[in-house]
Amino acid sequence: MLLGVDTGGTFTDFVWFDGAQLVIHKVLSTPDAPERAILQGIHELGLDGRDYHLVHGSTVATNAVLEGKGVRTVYITNHGLGDVLSIGRQARRELYNLQPQAEAPPVAPELCLETGGRPGADGSVVEPLDTQDIEALVARVQQLEPQAVAINLLFSYLDDSFERRIEAAMPAGLFVSRSSAVLPEQGEYERGIATWLNAWVGPCVEGYVQRLQAAVQPAPVHVMQSSALTIAAAQAARRAVNLLLSGPAGGLMGVLRIGKAVDRPQLLSFDMGGTSTDVALLDGRVSLTSEGHIGRWPVAVPMVDMHTIGAGGGSIARVDAGGMLAVGPESAGADPGPACYGRGGRLATVTDANLVLGRLRPEAFLGGKMRLDTPAAQQAIEQLAAQMGVSPQQAALGVVDLANEHMAQALRVISVQRGVDPATYTLAAFGGAGGLHVCALAEALGMRQALVPVHSGVLSALGMLVAPRGRQLSHSVKGLLREQTAARLQQYFEALAARGRAELLEEGVQADAIRRVCSLDLRYQGQGYTLNILFNEDLDQVAADFTRAHRQRFGHTLDVALELVNLRVALSATGSDFALQADTATASCSPLESIEVAGCDARVPVWRREDLDIDAPYPGPLLVIDAVATTWVAPGWEVVRHPSACLLLERY
């Protein structure tokens, strides 16, 4: 028996699988203590004291980074390298701003400690680490009284003995991260940031995971990683930097499972929640990147390749100083939430605009478990309309249209800007608000097919249940590809895989259930960026695969030797699975009601998802409601209910 839990900025979602059927549930999030909402949902589902397995997507690490709420952290590096994190790559956020606003360095200068113990680029010892160095470090750390320590020595991925000696000498009770364990790859800045982030928010994550484990005992807890693989909570507590896209990764696993069920493997996914929107490109599998960002920080650990913007159902609409309408990135969150939640919110949001336009039914929100306050939404939109000098309906349409444009641009970033024509893909919309915007976004990108999955409002929680346990491991091995041999690379892969396999076996995974995928980070010699290519013992074929990938991604190739930068191993064990067969009850022959919707001349029918005939087309405009989401089928579109209860939309 499995329980998937996704903690979002507005709602905490639950999917319970008892071995026979799925039960879905939602509660408002409690950002100050996320475990409180989880325990509330567990109680409301009647699972107190039950025997089950909890798989959790957590935003604790993400929020701590974005809100700057990490702990006091000491950063230890080699002599002369204490400013590396402050200097970074010397990239400016605003290229043409001659007077940029100064930003605080990640680590204050007084917390950056320099020491001996420096390997060279060839693995030789350039500067030794003696007893006096270690004693001086320990004394300084004790004087500074940090909660965490990050250790990042030059070329530690070649020889980590110096980092291990420093780690062993640190005072008891400190949260210690070393770069050779967090990210054993080249690039002292990216490796240093990942190590510092892991130490900076690690105690927050560790405390949260320990509280959650204690509260749900004896249920075992696994946590979703940014790589869309789950990890035992006890190990996740020490790997905060690997959890920064925990929740969104669950959504991609969920939509990937749905895509296979409806035979739509090529998907442009669009996850619109209350606070943010995540978009990604799926081609039968989840793509990973080592070039992700959280806030202004690069995060080089493997994470799902997606683009995130601050646009969601709770995004606040306002008139800016220039008199123009703006939507987001500020969000009303869960408390007070949009005005229509009736919890004290006064500012207009995207959800309020959809309610005023008639695209949300106040009595049917969350399957009727939460009634929306229509007068409060109207008042918030009227205040905005007065500032804009337009009617409330025009203001509401403007809010929705502007939010749509923000999200359409995010979809273009992940598709068009990468040389992919979105018209050849299906737009998969999920999250609590995704179904309300799916038709407009598909039209903006020239797409003719769309998909709203079953249980779309809790799809990230459902994805937790199907996600496999696993590890992503990497190690820098530099050299020209033509100078490598397949046998030598296999030895490296075996050594990497052994470490991850040992951790999975410790979690109880059967050895014969573990699958391995090996890949190489390659680039043209002299380039600063890489492409990840699946390993093949025929290295000539690997080179050809790189050439083809480079042409698709960048539009050209070079007559230059290929350079190997990193080796990567993905280990995974098959996750749980279950049927998505819908209820076979007889569908209704008539809609639930007919309502007025702004922009439509005639009244619009409202259907419950389960009342639609399977495989029968229903032309828009119409609304489809279910327990966790609402889908707006715009004019010019038709919807078909798949046997799995997913909604397939097509433009005619």
C-beta of residue 410 within 8 angstroms of C-beta of residue 276: no
Please report how many Cα atoms fall inside a 13 Å half-sphere around the Cα of residue 209, on the Cβ side.
Answer: 28
> Is the confidence at residue 159, as pLDDT, over 70?
yes
Q: How far apart are CA 5 and CA 252, in angstroms?
A: 15
> Is the confidence at residue 59, as pLDDT, over 90?
no
| pLDDT confidence of residue 560 | 94
User: In the structure, how many helices (H) and strands (E) does the chain have?
Assistant: 16, 34
pLDDT, tens digit (0-9, with 9 covering 90-100), for 248-305 = 899 999 999 999 989 999 999 999 887 788 899 999 888 888 888 887 889 999 999 9
Q: How far apart are CA 194 and CA 188, in angstroms?
A: 10
Give the confidence band of 583 by pLDDT, cuts at 50, 70, 90.
low
| pLDDT confidence of residue 95 | 81
- What domains can you pick out in the chain, each with its CATH number? 2-66+205-246 (3.30.420.40), 73-93+100-201 (3.40.50), 469-573 (no CATH)
Lowest mean pLDDT among 78-92, 168-182, 420-434, 567-581: 567-581
The mean pLDDT of 41-58, rounded to a whole number, is: 90
What percentage of the chain exceeds 70 in pLDDT?
A: 98
> Is the confidence at residue 584, as pLDDT, over 60?
no
Q: Are strands 604-608 and 622-625 parallel, antiparallel or unpaired?
A: parallel
C-beta of residue 10 within 8 angstroms of C-beta of residue 316: no
| pLDDT confidence of residue 574 | 77
| pLDDT confidence of residue 432 | 83
The mean pLDDT of 407-422, rounded to a whole number, is: 92
> Is the confidence at residue 415, as pLDDT, over 80?
yes
| pLDDT confidence of residue 581 | 56
C-beta of residue 86 within 8 angstroms of C-beta of residue 105: yes
The mean pLDDT of 414-419, rounded to a whole number, is: 89
- As a whole number, the mean pLDDT across the chain is 91
H or E element: which one contains 216? helix 188-216
> Is the confidence at residue 168, as pLDDT, over 90?
yes
| pLDDT confidence of residue 335 | 76
Of residues 108, 119, 107, 112, the one with CA closest to residue 163: 119
Give the confidence band of 319 by pLDDT, cuts at 50, 70, 90.
very high
In degrees and rounded to multiples of 5, residue 189 shows phi and psi of -70, -55
| pLDDT confidence of residue 582 | 53
Structure token pair of residue 144: 């500074």
504-542 burial code (b ≥16 CB/10 A, e <16): beeeebeeeebeeebbbbbbbeeeeebbbbebbeebeeb
The mean pLDDT of 62-74, rounded to a whole number, is: 88
pLDDT, tens digit (0-9, with 9 covering 90-100), for 81-120 = 999 999 998 877 788 888 888 888 999 999 999 999 999 9
pLDDT, tens digit (0-9, with 9 covering 90-100), for 433-492 = 899 999 999 999 999 999 999 988 889 999 998 899 999 999 999 899 999 999 999 999
